[in-house]
Structure 1
Amino acid sequence: MNAIAEKCRKVDPTDPTQGQSDTIVQLVIALALGLSAFIGFCFLRPRWKGLYAARKQQRDSADSLPVLPDTLFGWIPVLYKVTEQQVLASAGLDAFVFLSFFKMSIKLFSVMFFFALVVMAPINKRFRYLPPWGDGGDQEPTIAWYNHPQLTNMSWSNEADNDDGSKKFILPEISYLWAYFVFTYVFTALSLYFMTNYTRRIIRIRQDYLGSQTTITDRTIKLSGIPPELQSEEKIKELLEKLEIGKVENVTICRDWKKLDDMMDKRASILRRLEEAWTVHLGNQASVANAQSRVIRRSSEDYEEDESNAHESGNLLGQSHVTPYEQPRPTTKVWYGFLNLTSKKVDAIDYYEEQLRKLDDKIIEARKQQYKPTRLAFVTMDSIPACQMAVQALLDPSPMQLLAKLAPAPSDIVWPNTYQPRSSRMIRSWTVSIFIFVLTLVWLAPVGGLAGLLNLCSIQQVWPEFAKLLERHEITKALVQTGLPTLVVSLLNVAVPFLYDYLANMQGSISQGDVELSLISKNFFFTFFNVFLVFTAFGAAGKFWPALQESLKDTTKLAYRLAESIDALAIFYTNFILLQGVGLMPFRLLEFGSVALYPIMLIGAKTPRDYAELVQPPIFKYGFYLPTAILVYILCFVYSILPAGYMVLFFGLIYFVLGYFIYKYQLLYAMDHPQHATGGAWPMICHRILVGLGVFQLLMAGYIALHKSFVAATLIVPLIPLTIWYSYFYARTFEPLMKFIALRSIRRENNADFNIVDEDIGAERPAEHIRRESTTVDESREKGQKFVNPSLFVPLEKIWINGQKGSNDDSTNRGAQSPDPLGRQASTESSVSLGDTHIWRENGDNNV
């Protein structure tokens, strides 16, 4: 038997010194990566404010935030002092909830780390289980206490020699396992305590925040399952008012606007091509500086002058073929004839302007037409209490009919999905779910391969020469066995969310907020199932099916399998958290993806519109970052009591501390979050924490039972149904307050210092609940919005060249009037022609 095989036979995965060299190597790599990224960010931050302070520069909601100093580290204390009230005022509820999860984890794991270091670490150092391994696996589990001088006079059940010749005494099972039992209960209680306290706090703040604002979203319901006999605005209004819920302010029935939406998409494409043609003709005079300039608003006098001088300056932008510019007019190839087999080159500017003119005429006519209604409508009530009563009540005795739910924000709605039949959305949703299930099985191959790299014995079986090479080079072995798997798993956690984001958008959700919540769910399923359960319980992909079949036949097998392998993977998960927190987290500050893509996008940018899009703040998506954070939370719990617990908790604490400050900076200063979920991610976080608690309890029961302490293991089992009951209790008690606004929380507009119940009895609200003087971020971004498909009324953008953009707020567009209830568009437009580029405006109104 060779040396590697002999070492594999004697290896003890519970040995606290096992894998320390791997962790040291990983720590050096993580520190090198993290510190270089952090120092690089501190150096580049004041120099690239267009990227690293994009939100502060371009979003009015960030104006109230303190200005960060341009010194190397001076921004850190200023960011630390930004309060939760400022986070709410600037970034909204979703950011507040996201950061609250990190704050809760910091407090919880600080307490757990103390107990793990002070109590469990000494116990685990003195007592160490030797679980049954070897070929037969029949050896009785025992406890080893190495050369303890105070126990020399005790009766030993067995005696063996250590490798160094000293005696190793084997004790029968004693009360050691009861420490595991006690701390399983203690840590479970701590988790539920912190989760409940933070839930109550978030509910209180959310109710006060939403109850003190007035937005059209807070007064609007999404009414689905509308029967054919009620598919008109007048009938829906009459029905709801008969129910005496409240007065209806407006009803918008979603109609089949596909034809109109397609024309608007086509128009946007033609407009871009026209802008590219003009940019080529005029020369690339556009620059990033021009693109960053504010939108130019032209007054009505300017347009009167344009109209009066239209003939004098005719063809200002496009005289047929006589131009003052040195660059020739660009051409484009047009296909025509039988099966579009014939082509010819034409003047690109003339061609696209004519295409745009014809399409504008079609859009104007399309806005006047009547479209087929669907079973979905948005109903705006006259007050928030009326809206809340409608969504919390059953409106119709028939199943699946007249279902009222809270409406998403107008800017959050995916309008093409509103006129998709419910059956079509269901088919798309199930298709995506089935595809993700199949994809989960596909991930087994790479995940199983990575699991094989963790064990030198597995490498020995597949590639003996490579195993011998690794055995001779300790650092290379650490890099291959620990560094490479953790890096690949981390890269999977970065890459897979992009695929799942695309799939979530294909499911047919009505709002982008629903898409993001779906993305959180999908990515967590990947990280939890593939990165944790499959990696831990089933090992290599070839063992997955036999292990799964065995576990399905007897669920206790899963607990035993987890217990058998969890110690062996302690170093891997420790290094995984270390790399995620210390090594990769600072790279999020650098926005490496945006920096890497910027040169590529810059090369492809041609028009001022392209340059303007380059400097927009990147989008912060919680579904990309939250699942990994929840997985780290679960890993900290799983290992909290085991010998590696203090190391896992220490690096987990570092992960959440760094994550809190880095994400706080990005959410407030660097990145934008246009979605509007009003903190809807918090119940998802809590339910997944409870799943992790269940796994932790199941694992500890199996771990203790594996070592024949059946009484302690049996006493842990009641924790599992208790956690399931708490999940049900949480859903019934707390979730409604995370979804709805309590009527008592709603403030009347004419007396903001009292809520509607306390006002009747003359009781003033506490000072911390008094309505804020300024508007909320939701009120600011929803000002002037309506629940109407933008294709029906949005002003038709005009060409944007030389860094100057036609404003959507001026009178330069046709068809900019609000639609009538039937989805038709009245028309009182007039046009002004500047050569071949048409500038349209509405009579008598410069602000549409």
Structure 2
Amino acid sequence: MASNTTSAVKSAQGSSLSQFLTTLVTAAAIAVLEITIFIIIRRMFKRIYAPKTYLGDEKRRVEPLPNSLFGWLPALLRMPQEDLIRTSGFDAYFFARYIYVHGLFFLSSFVLLAIILFPIYTVDGKGESYGKKGLDLLTFGNISPRHSSRYAAPLVLAYIFVGAFLYLLYAEMKTFVEKRQALLRSSAYQSRASATTILVTGIPKSYMSQAVLLRIFDQFPGEVRYIWLNRNLEDLPDKADKRTKFVEKLETIECKLIKAALKKEAKRQKNANMNVHSIENDEGIFDKYIPETKRPTMKIGSIPVLSSLCFGKKVDTITYYKEAISQLNTDIERAKLTPQNYAVLNSAFIQFNQQIAAHMAVQSVAASVPLAMTPRYIDVKPANIV
């Protein structure tokens, strides 16, 4: 029984190297395949892999990377830090920096530690006389009892490694503070409304008025510029989403009609040897080129699913969407003129005249009630507001 166990252990030890190499080759093959697929499709789907080269705000766009197979990698690594912060933001920059710095640190540490420790473990070690084979020759257990002083090497290197990593964290934190302060002092950041606006949550009901909040926060430098009380808008957001949906559908339908009209006009003018002129989006133009029987229609009713199938009233799609959008515009504008009709929530946005006042307001105790008016947030971007 004991001999069988011993032979099994020796067999496992001897095969550890071959298992490691097999796993390494498999992982490398998968990595090469994935990288090859990425290199191929990167140039085919620019909207996914390079959207900021031609979409969005022009101030946040970047120069496209080289279209060669591997030329994009050096260009990406040479990208200035300021461009990455400008195009992707502060958080994305430090996330990319975190991956890069830690990857570089651990890879270089592995190389240095391997150069030092592998000779200590392997030179004049226990070897096969103690049943050490394969990767076991590169472990702490291969150190021979005759060289017990070598046991101190891993301990010393562990202290050095931990100390170096703690220093790396300190240096990165220092870099973060310096870059954050530089960002807060930049004119581009200070010109944004979010730099001087805070979100206050957990406000007690007795404090939920502009007069009370103004009395609390008007003590900071530069005073308060404006206060927005957050309200329960009920179905107003749904109406805005519905209007957007209808506008997109109307644009899609009219684009299709314009294309159809252009084809007919081009065919007519080609037969008459005339130049094709542009067709404007107008009902009269549609009537001229698209007969009433060819105009898109839809069915409406009180039960959406059944009405759209067969039980609804048949109407002209363009006319219906235009009337619906007009009615939604009227409802939304009327609601915007009477915000007092909506119940207030327990949060508010407060904008200051000076940036320092916003930072002081976030860090100060604002109410005598425990845990009231906390937490508070600064630099809340409009896109992140639900």
- State the TM-score bracket (shorter-chain normalisation): 0.7 to 0.9
* Matched-pair identity in %: 22
TM-score (norm 1): 0.36
Q: Decide whether the 8 Å contact of 1:55 with 1:62 is kept in 2.
A: yes
CA distance in 2, matches of 1:373, 1:401: 17
2:206 to 217, 220, 229: 229
Q: Decide whether the 8 Å contact of 2:201 with 2:347 is kept in 1.
A: yes
| Larger mean Cα displacement after TM superposition, 169-178 or 44-53 | 169-178
Which 5+ residue runs of structure 2 have no aligned equivalent?
A: 134-141, 263-279
Structure (1/2) with the larger helix percentage: 2
CA distance in 2, matches of 1:94, 1:381: 24
State the SS of the aligned residue for 1:400.
Answer: coil
Q: CA deviation at 1:408?
A: 4.0
Q: CA deviation at 1:6?
A: 5.2
Query: What's the C-alpha RMSD, in Å, of the aligned pairs?
Result: 4.1
2:312 to 337, 344, 348: 344
Q: Decide whether the 8 Å contact of 1:267 with 1:359 is kept in 2.
A: yes
1:384 paired residue number: 355
1:257 to 233, 254, 261: 233
CA distance in 1, matches of 2:286, 2:121: 82
Q: CA deviation at 1:270?
A: 3.0
Which 5+ residue runs of structure 1 have no aligned equivalent?
A: 128-143, 149-158, 163-167, 287-305, 416-848
Q: 1:21 to 1:147 in 2, by over 3 A?
A: closer
CA distance in 2, matches of 1:340, 1:106: 58
State the SS of the aligned residue for 2:294.
Answer: coil
State the SS of the aligned residue for 1:11.
Answer: helix
Tell me if 1:399 matches 2:370: yes
Q: Decide whether the 8 Å contact of 2:257 with 2:286 is kept in 1.
A: no
Q: CA deviation at 1:346?
A: 0.8
CA distance in 1, matches of 2:316, 2:326: 14
Q: 1:193 to 1:13 in 2, by over 3 A?
A: farther
CA offsets per residue over residues 258-292 of structure 1, 9 Å max, x none?
Answer: 32112112222333444454456556899xxxxxx
Alignment of 1:117-516 (within 5 A): 117-125=114-122, 145-146=126-127, 174=148, 177-212=151-186, 213-214=189-190, 215-241=192-218, 243-278=219-254, 315-316=283-284, 324=290, 328-336=294-302, 343-349=311-317, 350-369=319-338, 370=340, 371-403=342-374, 405-415=376-386
Q: Decide whether the 8 Å contact of 1:381 with 1:387 is kept in 2.
A: yes
Q: Decide whether the 8 Å contact of 2:220 with 2:361 is kept in 1.
A: no
Alignment of 1:56-75 (within 5 A): 56-59=53-56, 60-63=58-61, 65-75=62-72
Q: Which has the higher contact order (CA 8 A, sep 6+)?
A: 1
Q: CA deviation at 1:379?
A: 0.6
Give 1:324's aligned amino acid.
Answer: I
Give 1:146's aligned amino acid.
Answer: G
State the SS of the aligned residue for 2:365.
Answer: coil
2:265 paired residue number: none
Alignment of 1:649-688 (within 5 A): none
State the SS of the aligned residue for 1:378.
Answer: strand
CA offsets per residue over residues 227-258 of structure 1, 9 Å max, x none?
Answer: 323322233223322x3444101111101113
TM-score (norm 2): 0.74
CA distance in 1, matches of 2:132, 2:196: 77
Q: Decide whether the 8 Å contact of 2:197 with 2:352 is kept in 1.
A: yes
CA distance in 2, matches of 1:50, 1:92: 19
2:81 paired residue number: 84
| Larger mean Cα displacement after TM superposition, 24-33 or 384-393 | 24-33
State the SS of the aligned residue for 1:351.
Answer: helix
Q: CA deviation at 1:10?
A: 2.0
CA distance in 2, matches of 1:42, 1:263: 44
Q: 1:325 to 1:188 in 2, by over 3 A?
A: farther
Q: CA deviation at 1:209?
A: 1.4
Alignment of 1:11-50 (within 5 A): 11=9, 15=13, 18-39=15-36, 41-42=38-39, 45=42, 49-50=46-47
| Larger mean Cα displacement after TM superposition, 78-87 or 96-105 | 78-87
Q: Decide whether the 8 Å contact of 1:378 with 1:407 is kept in 2.
A: no
Alignment of 1:536-615 (within 5 A): none
CA offsets per residue over residues 325-345 of structure 1, 9 Å max, x none?
Answer: 5982333333448x9798235
CA distance in 1, matches of 2:27, 2:132: 39
Q: 1:18 to 1:325 in 2, by over 3 A?
A: farther
Q: CA deviation at 1:31?
A: 3.8
CA distance in 2, matches of 1:169, 1:403: 58
Q: Decide whether the 8 Å contact of 2:203 with 2:346 is kept in 1.
A: yes
CA distance in 2, matches of 1:8, 1:283: 81
Q: CA deviation at 1:97?
A: 0.5
CA distance in 1, matches of 2:157, 2:11: 22
2:266 paired residue number: none
Q: CA deviation at 1:376?
A: 0.5
CA distance in 1, matches of 2:86, 2:27: 35
Q: 1:281 to 1:226 in 2, by over 3 A?
A: same
State the SS of the aligned residue for 1:397.
Answer: coil
CA distance in 2, matches of 1:264, 1:169: 73
Q: CA deviation at 1:76?
A: 3.4
Give 2:345's aligned amino acid.
Answer: T
Q: Decide whether the 8 Å contact of 1:42 with 1:72 is kept in 2.
A: yes
CA distance in 1, matches of 2:88, 2:245: 32
Q: 1:169 to 1:211 in 2, by over 3 A?
A: closer
Q: CA deviation at 1:406?
A: 2.8
CA distance in 1, matches of 2:10, 2:217: 70
Q: Decide whether the 8 Å contact of 1:221 with 1:407 is kept in 2.
A: yes
Give 1:57's aligned amino acid.
Answer: Y
Q: Decide whether the 8 Å contact of 1:253 with 1:374 is kept in 2.
A: yes
Give 2:126's aligned amino acid.
Answer: W
Paired residue total: 350
